[in-house]
Amino acid sequence: MLLLLVIVVVWAAAVGSVSVPFSQSARIVLAKLPFVDAEEMLEGIPKANKLIIWNIRLPRVLLAGLVGGGLAAAGVVMQALFRNPLADPQVLGISSGAAFGAAVAIAFGITFTVSGISSIWLFAFAGAMLTMVLVFYVARIATSRSVTGILLAGIACSSMLTAAITLMMMWNREKLEQIYLWMLGSFSSASWVKVGFMSIVLLGALLCFILLGRDLDLLSFGDQEAQSMGVSVKRTRTIAVLSTSLLVAAAVSVSGIIGFVSLIIPHIMRMLCGPKNRRLIPLSLLGGAIFMILCDMISRTAVPPNEIAVGAITQVTGAPFFLYLLWKERRKGERD
């Protein structure tokens, strides 16, 4: 999987409106590695190709991989926490919070950039984090942060924020298209700053997920059974949901809302490697990264010079698989 990911990264960086040979793309990427003679590695490659790969395409490809991998890993954790194969990080309402923050920035014309950080990105991340705090607060008041309480609080907050976004779009019709396109998801504004930000968040969340892998496995048997085997259910659930929320908030703030990745990739990886989370999480991360990079490559090359929203590509791919899962669950219920 790791080797396939490297090949896909190099290939995606080479493909675009200006075609760059695969060998040159690979050499440009390898030249940035430590202990590599960059001058010798880049010999004979046109300067324009170097600029295209390193400054434009590679940040976009890497950001797509980080977002796809992060969403897939978050999907594994959510399915383990809720003990439901159809669970998705979007039920926490974090995506709606990010969309609301971005809609506020767009609708009210708040535009600035500081050190590569745009106002839309900043407002989207702030909206996602505030929504996370609100969901936890509501869940704590209502049901002491039980799984059901967090789920219901997330759905309620998501519905409320979606309604607020709709009203904002109606009041600012001239900004409607811009808000809607942001919500569909895109990596067209990728930068090395966003790649660094997403890398840090993903690394921290992944570390938490791996450390909680055994506890998540035991939670699949139920809260009482897991507690009898030494699992601190409340602590595990709190850390897992907070890590997942932070990861989803970061992913949505840099790319917009991209659906189905966190649903279909964990299922595919589970069929290939089994349900053990310490194996399933990193493999889902790699699978999600590969899937997202390929979807983004299709989105920017299918109808040049125009670009299709990457969220539309993932939905076209994921919707049939989602219907298959529903059919599979129904068959399983009929057998039981």
Q: Is residue 252 part of a domain?
A: yes
Kindly indicate the confidence band of residue 297, based on its pLDDT and cuts at 50, 70 and 90: very high
86: confidence class by pLDDT, cuts 50, 70, 90: confident
Q: Cis omega (within 30 of 0) on the bond before 59?
A: no
Computed from CA positions of residues 254, 102, 126, 74, in that sequence, does the dihedral angle turn out positive or negative? negative
Q: Which two tokens stand for residue 157?
A: 């907050």
Tell me how long the chain is: 336
pLDDT digits (tens, 9 = 90+) for 9-57: 999 999 988 888 999 999 988 888 877 787 888 888 888 998 999 999 9
- Angle 311-298-111 from CA coordinates, rounded to 5°: 50
* Domain-located, residue 292: no
pLDDT at 144: 58
Total domain count, the chain? 1
CATH of the domain at 101: 1.10.3470.10
Q: Max CA-CA distance within the chain?
A: 65
Residue 25 in 3-state DSSP?
helix
Helix (H, G, I), strand (E, B) or coil at 254: helix
More confident residue, 335 or 9: 9
- What does the CA dihedral 23, 25, 27, 32 come to, rounded to 10 degrees? -170
Is 53 inside any structural domain?
A: no
Do the domain assignments include residue 135?
yes
Q: With the CA atoms of 56, 57, 61 and 62 taken in that order, what torsion angle do they form, in degrees rounded to the nearest 10? A: -50
Q: How confident is the model at residue 75 (pLDDT cuts 50, 70, 90)?
A: very high
Which range of residues forms the domain containing residue 259?
69-282+299-335
Residues sharing a CB contact under 8 Å with residue 280, sequence separation 6 or more, in sequence order = 76, 266, 269, 270, 273, 274
Q: Degrees (nearest 5) of the Cα angle 248, 211, 60?
A: 35
Burial track 180-214 (b if 16+ CB lie within 10 A, e otherwise): ebbbbbbbebbbeebbebbeebbeebbebbeebbb
Separation of first and last alpha carbons in the chain: 35
Q: For residue 128, count other CB atoms closer than 10 A to its CB.
A: 28
The verdict on residue 25 lying in a domain is no
Is 0.85 topped by the overall pTM? yes
Residue 320 lies in a domain: yes
Residue whose pair of structure tokens reads 């699949």 in the numeric block: 220
Output the average pLDDT for the chain: 87
Which phi and psi angles does 122 have, rounded to 5°?
-65, -45
Residue 20 lies in a domain: no
Local structure of residue 42 (DSSP, 8 states) = T
